[in-house]
Amino acid sequence: MKNELLGAVLTKSLEGALENAGDIVLNHAKELLSGDKKNCVKTDAEGLTVTVYAEGEEARKLEFGTSKMAAQPFLVPSLISSEEEILKAISDGLEIL
């Protein structure tokens, strides 16, 4: 019983920490975009999985480029530049235990 309760508390804490980490990446990505393009970046959290993604053809073209346009990535650089903040968010989220 105690182990199940501890597992549930740990899982809930980790879920919250991961959502915070996703928000960090989301905000960094939005900083690299201008105008309405910022609205294409979203997060989706389900259990212990958080996905940061961009919707729409224009976002895909920006991130990966086309035969006529160089890539202007915003998702991958946001993840890379957020690494320390992500680790801190997860650590802080688990510190309450």
Per the structure, the complete domain to which residue 49 belongs is given by 2-95
User: Per residue in 41-69, pLDDT tens?
Assistant: 999 999 899 999 999 999 999 999 999 99
The pLDDT assigned to 6 comes to 66
Query: Is 15:45 a contact under the CB 8 Å cutoff?
Result: yes
Q: pTM value?
A: 0.85
Contact partners, residue 17, CB within 8 Å, separation at least 6: 89, 90, 91, 92, 93, 94
* Number of independent structural domains in the chain: 1
Long-range pairs of 52-57 with CB within 8 A, sequence gap ≥ 24: 52/22, 52/25, 52/26, 52/78, 52/79, 54/29
Q: Please report how many Cα atoms fall inside a 13 Å half-sphere around the Cα of residue 46, on the Cβ side.
A: 2
